[in-house]
Amino acid sequence: MRALVQVAMAGWLAGCAVTPADGPVPNGPAIIYIVDQGWHTDIGIPVWEMSGPLASLTSGFAGIRFAMFGFGQRRYYMARNPGSGEMLAALFPSKSAIRMTVLRTSPPEAFPDQEVILLQLPQSSIDRITTRLWNELARKPDGAVLRLAADSMDGSVFFGSDQVYDAFYTCNTWTATLLREGGLPINARVVFAGQVMDQVALIAAVQTRRPPSQHRHFTSTVTCGVPGPRNRSPGSPRRTSAGGLCGSRHAIPGGVSGIVTKA
């Protein structure tokens, strides 16, 4: 069943190239990181740039520097060892979850084997992204955020989301939508991680006036973000795919020193 699901996913590759949206590229002193986890993308936000109610989610964690946010199909995302049933369910409209992973180090240090791209933004862009993220969290009847579960092994907390997950609104669609909310000229009609990372690399190149290749640790040999063999520069770490569908669980390569458990 797993092979059949992955073949079905690969069948969408025909004609799936994404053209970046037109528009000015914002720039500023604030930063965020976009991390490619294989099939999945996360957004990393420094805690000192988080304002408004979203910042309350990081209270109680010792030594936190960054919060990583990702989106996924709830059943699949929260399963430690998802099987074919979870993979198949993730293709159809279903409930979703937002995962927050807290770090006491930077995303490049916590994820040395993953592709990580830095974007420089005005604080107003970060505020719009965090506001959109907060508004997508599901609420309990009393108005409190719906907290689903916590995982002390990798410093993550799962929250319910009101956004419906399906094969055409994946974690990568969600990432692109948040970036677009922050004023970035990104096409949010994406499915795969590579479709996001290609656009993010171009935006980073415009911001720094350096070629996109200088913002990327790896160059995929497969189009549209399907994980495959990567060409590595000499001395760069080998990248391992997270595998599976959007939102698959992964260990943080930085080890326990890179994550924070709640005090």
pLDDT tens-digit series, residues 114-126 = 999 999 999 999 9
Q: What is the pLDDT of residue 123?
A: 97
Q: What's the pLDDT tens digit per position in 161-184?
A: 999 998 889 999 999 999 999 999
> Which pLDDT value is given to residue 239?
34
Is the separation of the CB atoms in 251 and 80 below 8 Å? no
* pLDDT confidence tier of residue 62, bands split at 50, 70 and 90: confident
Q: Which residue reads 């979703």 in tokens?
A: 96
Confidence of residue 38 (pLDDT cuts 50, 70, 90): confident
Q: pLDDT class for 231, splitting at 50, 70, 90?
A: very low
The helix (H) or strand (E) run that includes residue 87 is: helix 84-89
pLDDT above 50 for 252: no
CA distances to 64, 161, 181, 263 from 242, rounded to whole Å, are 24, 23, 27, 29
Among candidate residues 245, 249, 196, 248, the one with its CA nearest the CA of residue 90 = 245
Is residue 94 helix, strand or coil?
strand
More confident residue, 240 or 102: 102
Among all chains, which residue has been given the structure tokens 């070629």? 211
Q: Check residue 157 and give its pLDDT.
A: 94
- Rounded mean pLDDT, 99-128: 95
Q: What is the pLDDT of residue 164?
A: 92
Q: How confident is the model at residue 82 (pLDDT cuts 50, 70, 90)?
A: low
For residue 53, what are its two tokens? 């109610």
Please determine, for residue 139, whether its predicted confidence score (pLDDT) is greater than 70.
yes
Averaged pLDDT score across all residues of the chain = 77
Most confident of 79-93, 145-159, 179-193, 207-221: 179-193
Better pLDDT: 86 or 113: 113
Q: Where exactly are the structural domains of the chain?
A: 18-56+63-217
Closest CA to 45 of 206, 175, 234: 175
